[in-house]
Chain A
Amino acid sequence: GQQVMQIPQYQHVQEGEDFTTYCNSSTTLSNIQWYKQRPGGHPVFLIQLVKSGEVKKQKRLTFQFGEAKKNSSLHITATQTTDVGTYFCAGPGEGYQLIWGAGTKLIIKP
């Protein structure tokens, strides 16, 4: 069945370093969504990408949708402690379902 793979599972960075998570789909996606879940919290919608090759920025966060619409990435520049959490991508599956990646946990080293 359709899968959305997300890597890495964890990323440890020093505060101020950059962070990137990658999302790959086994099929072409019409759109992809990104969510952030803080520790102990619930997922919160960040952004949706729809167009091939689309790049969107939110302050230090840059989201990209691949030309073939089968992959996407989230890059955070100069991480801060407020960025800690797990970042999920999700794409449309069968019917009305969203298929979720397993998430990438951003950990700031003390």
Chain B
Amino acid sequence: DGGITQSPKYLFRKEGQNVTLSCEQNLNHDAMYWYRQDPGQGLRLIYYSQIVNDFQKGDIAEGYSVSREKKESFPLTVTSAQKNPTAFYLCASSIRTSAVYEQYFGPGTRLTVT
């Protein structure tokens, strides 16, 4: 089955620690995205990548970093510089980066930082 996997489903960290969220897709999609979702709000774009070794900042990139070394993988690191990291993080992919293509989402990772 093709799809997007994110791990882990739940993640707990202490303040001041960096944490990396995994995202893998086997859909052969060029574009990948990271969103943050807070209760009662829409999705806010953190980073996106059009192709391997290329990525762009979204609206809320501060305190986050990404890499795209392989087409299938787009890990997100939440650094200690992110002031309010507790949130639901969603990874998505689409055939290409354009708003005309539907986005496919992974199951998400719920990060709690205390």
Contact A92 B42 (CB under 8 A): no
Q: How large is the interface on B (under 10, 10 to 19, 20 to 34, 35 or more residues)?
A: 20 to 34
Q: Which residues of B (60-84) have their CB < 8 Å from a CB of A?
A: none
- Which 4 pairs show the lowest CB-CB distances between chains A and B? A92-B99, A96-B97, A100-B42, A45-B102
* Majority SS at the chain B contact face: loop
Contact A97 B45 (CB under 8 A): yes
Query: CB-CB < 8 A to A42: which residues of B?
Result: 90, 105-108
Interface residues of B (CB under 8 A from A): 31, 40-45, 48, 50, 56, 58-59, 90, 92, 97-100, 102-108
Q: Which residues of A (56-110) have their CB < 8 Å from a CB of B?
A: 88, 90-93, 95-98, 100-103
Q: Is A26 an interface residue (CB 8 A)?
A: no
Known contacts A96-B31, A96-B48, A97-B58: A43-B43 contact under CB 8 Å = yes
Contact B90 A31 (CB under 8 A): no
Known contacts A42-B105, A42-B106, A97-B58: A48-B100 contact under CB 8 Å = yes
Q: Is A33 an interface residue (CB 8 A)?
A: yes
